[in-house]
């Protein structure tokens, strides 16, 4: 998988909701120990979005961590698509 087309979604457990910064640090350190490059980390409301070099290996690594409830792989879509869709919906009236 190309790291630019897929991202890793990490959903924190109830225990780590108040300690998101510590969770980000521990996830990043754990991935780096497995030689998985972390290109970017984006904090969303319900999850952490990580752009990594090997998404499949990153899923296997983060599943076993304390403070992580669920892990998923998602396909990235360009931001332009969402903007274009909004323009088409609003201009169809």
Q: Which domain holds residue 51?
A: 6-91
Q: Quick one: average pLDDT of 11-16? A: 89
**What is residue 35's predicted lDDT score, i.e. its pLDDT?**
93
Alpha-carbon distance 27 to 69, whole Å?
13
Query: Between 57 and 18, whose confidence is greater?
Result: 57
Tell whether 1 is covered by a domain.
no
Query: Between 65 and 88, whose confidence is greater?
Result: 65
**What is residue 52's predicted lDDT score, i.e. its pLDDT?**
92
Read off the CATH number of the domain in which 25 is found: 3.30.70.1510
CA-based R_g, the chain, Å? 15
Q: What is the pTM of this model?
A: 0.73
Q: Give yes or no for residue 36 having a pLDDT over 90.
A: yes
Tell whether 50 is covered by a domain.
yes
């Amino acid at each position: 998988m190309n790291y630019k087309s897929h991202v890793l979604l990490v959903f924190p457990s109830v225990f780590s909701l108040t300690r998101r910064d510590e969770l980000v640090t521990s996830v990043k350190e754990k991935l780096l120990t497995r030689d998985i490059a972390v290109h970017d980390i984006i904090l969303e409301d319900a999850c952490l979005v990580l752009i990594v070099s090997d998404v499949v290996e990153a899923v296997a690594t983060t599943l076993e961590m304390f403070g992580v409830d669920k892990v998923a792989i998602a396909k990235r879509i360009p931001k332009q698509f969402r903007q274009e869709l909004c323009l088409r919906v609003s201009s169809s009236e």
